[in-house]
Chains A and B, each alone.
Chain A
Amino acid sequence: MYNEEELARPYARALAEAADALGVLDRVRADIEALALQWEACEALRDWCRAFRSQPRAAHKAEVAALWGDSFAPQTRMMLEALAVNGALAVIPHVVTAFRRLADSRQGRVAVSLVFAADPAAATVSALTERAKAAYGPGTAVTVTVDPALGAGLIVRAGNKQIDGTLVGRLRRLRRAFARSE
Chain B
Amino acid sequence: MNSQLKPDELAALLRQRMEQCDRAVDTTEFGTVLSVGDGIARVDGLTGVMYNELVESENGVAGLALNLEEDVVGVAILDSDVNVREGDRFHRTGRVVSVPAGPALTGRVVDALGRPLDGKGPLVGTEPMPVEAPAASIIERKNVNTPMQTGLVAIDALTPIGRGQRELIIGDRKTGKTTIAIDTILNQKGSDVHCFYVAVGQKLSTVAALYRQLENAGAMAYTTIILANASEPAPLQYLAPYSGCAMAEYWMNRGGHALVIYDDLTKHAQAYRQMSLLLRRPPGREAFPGDVFYLHSRLLERAAQLSDAKGGGSLTALPIVETQANDISAYIPTNVISITDGQIFLEAGLFHQGQRPAINPGISVSRVGGDAQLKAMKKVAGPLRVMLAQYRELEAFTSFSSDLDAGTLDQLAVGRALMQSIRQKPGAPMPVSHQVALLYAGTHRALVGIPEIRLQEAIAALFNAIGSTQTGQAYAARFAASPVLDDELNGLLEKLTAEALGPFSKR
- Residues of chain A at the chain B interface (Cβ within 8 Å): 1, 3, 5-6, 9, 13, 101-102, 105, 157, 159-165, 169-170, 173-174, 176-178, 180-182
Contacts and interface: CB of A to CB of B under 8 A. Distances in A.
A11 to B, nearest CB: 13
Chain B contact residues: helix, strand, loop or mixed: mixed
A165 B25 CA distance: 4
Given A160-B46, A160-B47, A182-B124, A173 B23 contact: yes
A3 B24 contact: no
B27 A162 contact: yes
B22 A5 contact: no
Contacts of A178: 17
Contacts of B124: 182
Nearest to B23: A173
A102 B27 contact: no
Interface in B82-101: 89, 91, 100
Contact of B25 (A163, A176, A180): A163
A3 B21 CA distance: 41
B71 A165 contact: no
B71 A101 contact: yes
B235 interface: no
A170 B18 CA distance: 11
Given A178-B17, A181-B17, A161 B34 contact: no
Chain A contact residues: helix, strand, loop or mixed: helix
A163 B125 CA distance: 33
A165 B24 contact: yes
B28 A162 contact: yes
7 contacts: A3-B35, A101-B71, A157-B30, A160-B47, A162-B91, A173-B26, A182-B100
Contact of A160 (B31, B104, B123, B128): B31
Interface residues of B, number: 38
Given A174-B21, A182-B1, 15 more contacts: A1-B37, A3-B35, A6-B35, A160-B31, A164-B27, A165-B24, A165-B25, A170-B24, A173-B23, A176-B56, A177-B20, A177-B22, A178-B17, A181-B21, A182-B122
A102 B29 contact: no
A161 B71 contact: no
B27 A177 contact: no
A182 B24 contact: no
Given A174-B21, A182-B100, A182-B126, A169 B26 contact: yes
Contacts of B104: 182
B347 interface: no
A30 B388 CA distance: 82
A13 B71 contact: yes
A173 B21 contact: yes
Contacts of A105: 71
A181 B18 CA distance: 11
Contacts of A163: 25-27
Contacts of B46: 160
B45 interface: yes
Contact of A174 (B18, B123, B126): B18
B322 interface: no
A54 to B, nearest CB: 24
A172 B18 CA distance: 12
B249 interface: no
Contacts of A13: 70-71
A160 B30 contact: yes
Contacts of B42: 5-6
Given A181-B17, A182-B100, A182-B124, A164 B35 contact: no
Contacts of B156: none
Contact of A182 (B21, B23, B47, B123): B123
Contacts of A101: 44, 71
